[in-house]
Structure 1
């Protein structure tokens, strides 16, 4: 599995957890310390996963930009004033 797939799986699990916490709140009430802690812990988990998702998106390897090189010959005038590597300037001699 990729990191993206794992993060989606974790997000689905958190959604299930939120629904379960909501059902428990309806059955047990929202006033108890234990219920408030469970609700706060679920919220913290959601925030932590969002931070992890942001960090993973920034660390994801970027694919290099592809550059297309034409098969047609270059214009010969591009090389008029150029030096031949290792040979020097055309009209001069090496010292």
Structure 2
């Protein structure tokens, strides 16, 4: 499915949370200490997530680059053979 499904309730919660955060930022620009603390805390958490995402993306690119220069081993089951396994119990014949 190409389009994610969001309910109206989810969109209203996201909109309300964004409005509250924008209000806190507006209070921080006016000099309120509590608003500055909340803004810095939220920004720190978001910044940490961004750093983790960039580190993950960098490690992913390095592993993809490493695969280009190494030999790819085709893994197969050690128990699989080209023929089916022997049948231990013979099936009953259908009387016609």
With the length of structure 1 as denominator, give the TM-score of the two structures: 0.37
**Whose radius of gyration is greater, 1 or 2?**
1
With the length of structure 2 as denominator, give the TM-score of the two structures: 0.37
Larger RCO (CA within 8 A; separation ≥ 6): 1
